[in-house]
Amino acid sequence: MATVSLKNIGKVYEGNVRAVDNANIEIEDREFVVFVGPSGCGKSTTLRMIAGLEDITEGDLYIDDKRVNDIPPKDRDIAMVFQNYALYPHMTVYDNMAFGLKIRKFDKEDIKKRVDQAAKILDIEELLDRKPKALSGGQRQRVAVGRAIVRQPKVFLFDEPLSNLDAKLRVQMRAEISSLHNRLQATMVYVTHDQVEAMTMADKIVVLKDGLIQQIGSPLELYNDPANRFVAGFIGSPPMNFMTVDVTEEKGKVYIDEGDFKLEIPKEQGDILKDYVGKQVVFGMRPEDLDYHEEEMKDQTIKCNVGVIEPLGAEIHVYVNTAKHQAIARVGPNVKLQVGDTIYLLPHFEKAVFFDLETELAIGREQRRQ
């Protein structure tokens, strides 16, 4: 298998449209890396540059320490699974899977062995004589993966491969691709706009926005220690709550004041905010880090009204309104609430993240890590 290294990679399209800017990513051997971000963030363009399907405008791309900027896709030893599967409609499943090997003039026996083996892994042995139009979405997806497997490439590339599947099948295929990764021990690069896919599948996530890498890290690193407000809001479902608050100091204690409520910040987090006293910051809390309380606790709870209640069985998502903001809290399944109720939420400040109002960067990341 292989390592992939992107050094200062940039992509500029006609009309000076910059799709990717100065991307630096190190993908280790056998690592499962997910590029995630909203539409137009440059994730697919980056993947296509790795595949050789897009020219690289700036920077260097290495596969196994070999610079491949000018090497065509067929010579990069990569395989790719496309969003719409891109199966050849005029070929049977067998021929689709065997095509890349035939073009590379593999021995017939070897081709058959590899296709049969891949078909067995993916449980599509019964489908080998069918044409793609006679397959369901999930089956097509398996064939597309099978086509990649038979080549035994150095790197597997997946471009939003599950986005055309229904929700249930997507969850199933997600698990299958993960188990395939474990089985093949291959280097895989996977593009998705679905942060749940990214969180559940990745060894390492690369979050992109507007062509710029926002953060690279393990799923939990990104969840617990986001570099900026975008990452904090993008990773996690329901998303992190954000409230713009004033930072004040009274008698050596640091407070955040929303106008409708005021919270005393524990010393550890207070120290991080010392430089922001007298300024505004964005206060970020995950929905699960807001505890439900019936009674107010002075300077410790957020007073709010229940707007929407979403019972999910194992938990309830409560959409609440303060005077200036909306927020979501995750509460236990047995909490009895009604729309319009006034409730109090107690934040777990050790999990809170504060963001600079202008730069939107997380405040005091270094201190928190120590």
Partner 1 sequence: MAKATGGDYLRRLMQRGSLHAVLILLCIIWIYPIVWMVSASFKTNAQMWNNSAGLIPDPLQLDNYVRAWTTSNFSIYFLNTVIFAVSVVALIVFLGSTSGYVLGRFKFPGKRLIMVLFIGTTVVPRATTIIPLFQLADMLGLLNNRIGYTLAYTSKTLIIAILLFIGFYIGVPREMEDSGAIDGCNFWQQFRHIMLPLAKPIIGTVTILNTIGAWKAFMIPLVFTFSRPNLRTLGVGMYAFVGEFSSDWAAMAAAASISIVPMMVVFLLFQRYFIEGLAGAVKG
Q: Which is nearer to partner 1, 132 or 138 (CB)?
A: 132
Give the angle 156-162-165 at the CA atoms, nearest 5°.
150
By CB under 8 A, residue 213 contacts partner 1: no
Q: What x-and-dash track marks residues 34-73 binding partner 1 by CB under 8 A? A: --------------x--xxx------------------xx
Tokens 């329901």 sit on residue:
238
Q: Side chain identity at 173, as an amino acid letter?
A: M
Residues with Cβ within 8 Å of 22's Cβ and at least 6 positions away in sequence, in order, are 8, 9, 10, 58, 59, 212
Asked if 336 interacts with partner 1 (CB under 8 A), we say no
Furthest CA-CA distance within the chain: 82
- Which parts of 265-294 interact with partner 1 (CB under 8 A)? none
Print burial letters for 316-330: b (CB count within 10 Å at least 16), e (below 16): bbbbbebeebebbbb
Residue 255: partners with Cβ closer than 8 Å, 6 or more residues away: 247, 248, 249, 262, 263, 264, 265, 299
Q: Which is nearer to partner 1, 95 or 296 (CB)?
A: 95
Indicate the residue among 184 and 346 with the shorter CB distance to partner 1: 184
From residue 179, alpha-carbon distances to 106, 128, 172, 201, 260 in Å are 28, 22, 11, 10, 49
Under the binding rule (CB under 8 A), the answer on residue 104 touching partner 1 is yes
Stretch that binds partner 1, among 100-108, 187-195, 242-250, 305-313 (CB under 8 A): 100-108
Q: What is the closest distance, in whole angstroms, from the C-beta atom of residue 35 to partner 1 in the complex?
A: 17
Q: Of 78 and 206, which has the nearer Cβ to partner 1?
A: 78
79 binds partner 1 (CB under 8 A): yes
Angle at 165 between CA 159 and CA 167, to 5 degrees: 115
Q: Is 82 a residue that touches partner 1 (CB under 8 A)?
A: yes
Among 132, 219, 284, 347, binds partner 1 (CB under 8 A): 132
Binding residues with partner 1: total (CB under 8 A) = 25
Number of other CB atoms surrounding residue 80 within 10 Å: 23
Stretch touching partner 1 by CB under 8 A, among 96-104, 228-236, 282-290, 358-366: 96-104
Q: Which is nearer to partner 1, 48 or 330 (CB)?
A: 48
By CB under 8 A, residue 88 contacts partner 1:
yes
| 84 contacts partner 1 (rule: CB under 8 A) | yes
**Contact with partner 1 (CB under 8 A) among 10, 100, 238, 307:** 100
Q: Decide if residue 309 touches partner 1 (CB under 8 A).
A: no
CB of 55 to partner 1, least distance (A): 13
Residue 135, number of CB atoms within 10 A of its CB: 18
Under a CB-based contact definition with an 8 Å cutoff, are residues 294 and 330 in contact? no
Q: Which range of residues in 81-89, 172-180, 272-280, 342-350 is near partner 1 by CB under 8 A?
A: 81-89
Which H/E stretch holds residue 170? helix 167-184
Q: Is 15 in the site for partner 1 (CB under 8 A)?
A: no
Using rule CB under 8 A, residue 133 touches partner 1: yes
Tell me the C-alpha distance between 252 and 274, whole Å.
10
Residue 162 or 320 with smaller CB distance to partner 1: 162
Contacting range for partner 1; rule: CB under 8 A; set: 95-103, 115-123, 284-292, 326-334:
95-103
| CA nearest neighbour of 328 among 223, 227, 236, 194 | 236
The residue type of 332 is G
The residue range among 83-91, 114-122, 263-271, 332-340 that interacts with partner 1, by the rule CB under 8 A, is 83-91
Scanning the structure block, which residue is given the tokens 């030893």?
77
The CA distance from 53 to 29, in Å, is: 22
Residue 152 interacting with partner 1 (CB under 8 A)? no
Contact residues for partner 1 (CB under 8 A)?
48, 51-53, 72-74, 78-80, 82-84, 86-90, 99-100, 103-104, 132-133, 147
